Amino acid sequence: MTFHCKRPHFCFVELRDAFSDRRLRFAYLPLAICLLVVVGCNTDVDQSANDNASDAAFSITPADAMNDPKLRSAAADSSAAQAAAEAAAAKSTPSSPAGELTIGDPNPGLRLAKFVKGDEVKAPLKDNVTVVEFWATWCGPCRAGMPHISELQREYGDKVRFIGVTREDEAVVTKFLGSVGPGGKTWDEVIDYRLALDDGGWTNNAYMRAANQNGIPCAFIVGRDGAVEWIGHPAGIDQPLKQIVDGSWDRQAAVAEFKQQAMFDKYAQKLNGMLRSGNFDAALSLLNEMEESSGGKSMPLLNNRLMILMMADRAEEASSVRSELIEAAWDDASVLNGVAWETATADNATDLDLALKAAKRASEIREDKDAAILDTLARCHYELGQLDEAIKVQQKAVDLDSNMQEIAEALKRYQDEKAAADSN
């Protein structure tokens, strides 16, 4: 299996057997390198390669909708026209060098050809909080996040404007909206926020290229004063969006974290080589160097330190870092869910009580309405020998999303084990 990460240089594909592939579709950890994988589609590789990220291992959407050959064919048919349109638009697009746009900068505005869903939004983006999210119909992780973005739009109402922007042809998007999505509904019924067509790639250029972002889905939060407040994978948007809306957002801290991610990029090849050769001591020393350079510990660094320690079978050190990470991520459901899953499913799993604590908190944050997190919580109960509770929680997960085949399979496995135990 191949995949394309939001930051490809950090993708250590050889390590995929060290961690459960199926969790890739759930554990979005937005600022961590691919040891804790941020699932996304690389916009710099051809679409056929990105389609590999649309299989069942990468999405929570139904397989028939995700692997629709007609949908991919229609997208491919539009690629030539799209390229020509973008080339024409580039002539009138202001130069946007990679790395030019960062957190705290004024937003670039919008240049959109058409809104295919929802009311039109015009620049300047100001006075309202606006989320500009870049996606494509062929991107499995993009589709996987759409139900959650729709939930956020319903939750925030007029306080936040969500705009999904694609470079694809209108016919492709219209066909996608009429196709089957989660729960047997059409995607038009599932998606509850604005969708728009880019104007020859101008908006992608002004945001994605300017911010040096090469993977989708990718979201930009624009605050009420018109400044870019946050850039990242939509799966990690909940906490920053809440703070931006309620006025408690620390922009300076966000700037520092964004710069730290750029530092990860700088060290990518060196760290990659260390991990490929199994030189974990050198990798940990490099993380120490990163901490010194960036002014201390952070969630991304803790994420990666934990994964390296797990790979090196240093259980005692991993346990200490795991506790730190859970404390640091106490309000981040995505990170907590990922930590809980990796802990509960590791060989010779330890710290199961910590995993349970993290999973319970993650589910609490999502109000026990996230099937993937409930699946993690059930697995923690199961590994602790709490089979009845595991079945109870797993049933809730299945009730929330019966299309997630592996969640249903886990429930059956627990139930079969319970029946076998009762018969003895």
* H helix or E strand, kind and range, residue 410: helix 405-423
Residue 221 confidence (pLDDT) above 60: yes
pLDDT tens for 80-111 read 444 444 444 444 444 444 458 999 999 999 99
Lowest mean pLDDT among 55-59, 299-303, 345-349: 55-59
> What is the per-residue pLDDT for 198?
96
% of the chain with per-residue pLDDT over 70: 76
Q: Give CA separation, 319 vs 32, 76, 310, 351, 368, in Å.
A: 19, 48, 9, 7, 26
Lowest mean pLDDT among 2-16, 196-210, 408-422: 2-16
pLDDT tens for 74-85 read 333 334 444 444
CA distance 358 to 380: 10
- Label residue 162 by pLDDT band (50, 70, 90): very high
Q: What is the mean pLDDT of the chain?
A: 78
Length of the chain: 424
- Stretch 134-140: mean pLDDT: 94
Buried b (16+ CB within 10 A) or exposed e, 4-17: bbbbbebbbeeebe
Residue 26 confidence (pLDDT) above 70: no
Q: CB neighbours of 215 closer than 8 A, spacing ≥ 6?
A: 4, 5, 6, 7, 8, 38, 40, 41, 42, 43
Contact between 268 and 6 (Cβ < 8 Å): no
> What is the per-residue pLDDT for 61?
26
Residue 16 confidence (pLDDT) above 80: no
> What is the per-residue pLDDT for 380?
97
> What is the per-residue pLDDT for 401?
79
- Stretch 5-27: mean pLDDT: 31
Per DSSP, the residues of 65-119 read: HHT-HHHHHHHHHHHHHHHHHHHHHHTTSPP--TT---TTSBP----EEEEEES-
pLDDT tens for 316-326 read 999 999 999 99
Domains defined for the chain, CATH in brackets: 75-249 (3.40.30.10), 346-424 (1.25.40.10)
> What is the per-residue pLDDT for 310?
87
- Label residue 190 by pLDDT band (50, 70, 90): very high
> CA nearest 394: which of 371, 417, 416, 422?
371
Q: Give CA separation, 85 vs 81, 167, 208, 340, in Å.
A: 6, 10, 18, 46
